[in-house]
Structure 1
Amino acid sequence: MSDEWAIRTTGLTKRFGRRTVVDRIDVAVPRGAVYGFLGPNGSGKTTTIRMLLGLAAPNAGEMWLLGHRMPAAARQVLPEVGALVEGPAWYPFLSGTDNLARFDAANPAMRPRDRQRRIAAALDRVGLSHVAKKKVRAYSLGMKQRLGIAAALLAPRQLLVLDEPTNGLDPQGTREVRALIRSLAEDGTTVFVSSHLLSEVEQICTHVGVMSRGKLVAQGDLTALRRLHRPRLVIETPDVERALRVLDDLALRDVQREQTHTGSTEPRISAELDGVLPEDVCAALVHAGVRVRGLRPDHGSLEDVFVSLTGEGFDVDG
């Protein structure tokens, strides 16, 4: 397998009885990318991650991590991989520092004499230094999530796999984790992030894979994926009928009357641009005497792409 891929799978499949939860997916994560593994809860994301990390055996397909075939190369590869999957279990009566000490001691490649330095650095990076000595039973869910990321960062990693890393975090904690992911990527670490939050993926990821009901329905560079949604032009005008005639003369497709948003009094219409420039549409409207109160192109979001690919809303539990 080419060294350009941090993660690569072909035909990866997992079944539980007669139910197929991961259906022949071909994941391709470039080295150095922040890859958002996106899909509703129940779409097969966590099962895929468990197979990649050797926590579950696939029924079919092949997979490679960091250029090595898995699970045959697990002993060689997994020390280079940090992971947070479904929230780790903690000893509630021990402090954050003592819990991390047990994680660190389980890694035979780590020198004991450097343990305290590694733990302090990991806690500082996730913003938990001030509660390092506090018992974990007093931690909030968000603090436990950040402690899990700290455990994944106890050693230098080529690949970091995070399953819903912002689960339970308040807005400030979420921003801190996003900043952390960006800084890790800047340092050269490949980050694989599963999430059901589209806004989160759009803010931090360079590449995206979209899961729906166990299938990988789209994958690629984030900008390229957005282009799967045909760009539309949204126009605010009180002269709706006159504007509709202009759009018809320009042969724009899928012209629609938009619902008026709360707090807005202006009627809206929209149409697919289909290669026509927004400024040309605006000029034609003004030339025809249409009073244009607002005009903006809408290039779509990941949610638009998801709906167009699957025909379902993103809150569907697959």
Structure 2
Amino acid sequence: MPGRPETGGPRAPDEREVRVPSTSGDRTVSVIETSGLTKRYGKHLAVDSLDLTVPRGSVFGFLGPNGSGKTTTIRMLMGLIEPTSGRAKVLGRPMPYDGRRVLPRVGALIEGPALYGFLSGRDNLLRYDSADPTADPRTRRARAEAALDRVGLTAAAGKKAKAYSLGMKQRLGLAAALLQPRELLVLDEPTNGLDPQGMREIRSLVRELASDGTTVFLSSHLLDEIEQVCSHAAVMTRGRLITQGPVAELAAGARGRLFVTTPDTADAARVLKEFGVADLVVADDRVTGEPPGTELADVNVALVEAGVRVRGFGVERASLEDAFVALTGEGFDVAG
């Protein structure tokens, strides 16, 4: 869990500015809402007028290159730093002003876990749990063991945390966030340092948590990770929000790639170029490019008439990567 905001900070807005629900069991449609959320460090604008909405029950991917403002945003949402301007609500309550009511309902892993290196993985979890005033001490050990098992660390539970690999530390931090049931789970680059098998396991765990009713807010710079596990996503770049919405709709907003599968790639590329197909790429027995404005059936006929042996032809579904490049004109880290 992130630390609570310090007392003596700015006074909470009055009722005309922010309506605060009267019960802790608030069931608002959105679990996170921001309006004009901004963070400035001197002349550097880290987050610029962010308007973000995270639906309850979603697995929400917060996507952007390293340095795009993702972690700064999360730190503001969790009350770890104060915004320069703008407002944020988490679970229907203003942050950081209502942090003492909000944070017990949130599990978080931000910028890697803070661990006691001289303690074992198990003892780290017990220490985390004992710091939670809502935790029942009678079931503390059982919950720690269950959390260790859930992230695959049971066999290493007695090992000192300073001897853990980066991936094992990530798992232990995630276990700490799962010690108690949470309405919202906030994960900042949760697969950092994990091998491919570990990444698959964390993705599976995220899906499982979502099926149990937990809203998961997952930041990542890996497009493949977001596309595989998230129902909704937002794209950040240079501190600004570019777009947000269901992942399928974001991808549908970009045009897919025309492809031709053929042993006659040189002839196929020539015909496609004549039809104005741009960004041609030839790889093995495939030629791909941007779909032309003409009827695709006419392109197929021209390929056949040119003697191209067409074994596959069509337009591939646009990916989240395609949508990102179309929106920003930038490349991206798409490694899984």
Question: Is this a same-fold pair by TM over 0.5?
Answer: yes
Secondary structure at the counterpart of residue 278 of structure 2:
strand
Q: Match of 1:224, SS?
A: helix
Q: Corresponding residue for 1:112? A: 137
Correspondence 1:310 to 2:332: no
Cα separation, 1, equivalents of 2:89 and 2:319: 31
SS in structure 2 at match of 1:260: strand
Segment drifting more, 68-77 vs 46-55: 68-77
2:243 to 203, 215, 218: 218
Distance 1:159-1:279 versus aligned 2 partners, 3 A rule: farther
Matched, 1:128 2:153: yes
Aligned match of 1:240: 268
TM-score normalised by the chain length of structure 1: 0.89
Cα distance in 2 for residues equivalent to 1:155 and 1:4: 22
Contact 2:277 2:292 in 1 (8 A): no
Aligned-residue offset at 1:273: 5.9
Q: In 2, distance between residues paired with 1:224 and 1:133?
A: 46
Per-residue deviation at 1:190? Answer: 0.4
Matched residues in 2 for 1:275 and 1:152: separation? Answer: 53
Measure the CA separation in 1 of the matches of 2:280 and 2:237. Answer: 28
Tell me whether 1:5 sits opposite 2:56 in the alignment: no
Residue in 1 that maps onto 2:12? none
Q: Distance in 1 between matches of 2:55 and 2:186?
A: 14
Answer yes or no: is the 8 Å Cα contact 1:232–1:273 preserved in 2. Answer: no
Q: Which moved more, 1:152-161 or 1:126-135?
A: 126-135
Q: For residues 246-299 of structure 1, what are the alpha-carbon distances to aligned partners after superposition, in whole Å with 9 as ceiling and x for unaligned?
A: x74xxxxx51362322xx1x47353426695x6675466547764313324222
Q: Which letter maps to 1:196?
A: H
1:36 and 1:271 mapped to 2: Cα distance? 27
Q: What is the distance in 2 between the residues matched to 1:71 and 1:227?
A: 36
Partner of 2:24: none
Moved over 6 A (4+): none
- Equivalent-residue separation in structure 1 for 2:259 and 2:297 (angstroms): 12
Where does 1:266-281 land on structure 2 (aligned, <5 Å)? 266=285, 268=287, 270-272=289-291
How far 1:103 moved relative to its partner? 0.5
Gaps of at least 5 residues in structure 2 are 1-18, 20-26
Query: What is the CA distance between 1:231 and its match in structure 2?
Result: 2.4
Aligned residues: 305
- For 1:260, the equivalent position in structure 2 comes to 282
The one-letter code sitting in structure 2 at the alignment partner of 1:25 is: L
Aligned residue among 140, 144, 153 for 2:169: 144
User: Which residue in 2 is equivalent to 1:153?
Assistant: 178
**Identity of paired residues, percent?**
58
1:159-308 aligned within 5 A: 159-237=184-262, 238=264, 239-240=267-268, 243-244=271-272, 248=275, 255-256=277-278, 258-261=280-283, 264=284, 266=285, 268=287, 270-272=289-291, 282=300, 285-286=303-304, 290-308=308-326
Q: Label 1:274 to 1:147 Cα distance change in 2 as closer, same or farther (>3 A).
A: farther
Specify which of 50, 62, 79 is matched with residue 54 of structure 1.
Answer: 79
Shift in Å, 1:182: 0.6
Partner Cα distance (1:241, 1:260) in 2: 8
Q: 45-54 or 227-236: which moved more? A: 227-236
CA 274–152 in structure 1, closer or farther in 2 if over 3 Å, else same: farther
Residues of 1 paired with 2:308 and 2:198: CA distance? 48
Q: 227-236 or 102-111, which moves further after superposition? A: 227-236
Residue 301 of structure 1 and its aligned partner are, at CA, apart by 2.0
TM-score scaled to structure 2, two decimals? 0.84
- Asked whether the equivalents of residues 47 and 69 of structure 2 are also in contact (C-alpha less than 8 Å), the reply is yes
The alignment status of 1:30 with 2:52, answered yes or no, reads: no
Q: SS at the partner of 2:61?
A: strand
**Is there any run of 5+ residues in structure 1 with no aligned partner, and where?**
249-253
2:100 to 51, 75, 98: 75
Name the structure 1 match of 2:22: none
- What CA distance in whole angstroms lies between the structure 1 residues aligned with 2:204 and 2:294? 37
Q: Counterparts of 1:137 and 1:242 in 2: how far apart (Å)?
A: 59
Query: Alpha-carbon deviations, 1:147-195, whole Å to 9, x = none?
Result: 0000001111000000000000111111111111010001010000111
| Deviation digits for residues 21-78 of structure 1 (CA, Å, limit 9, x no counterpart) | 0000111110111111111111100000000000010011111111222222211111
1:258–1:267: 8 Å Cα contact kept in structure 2? no
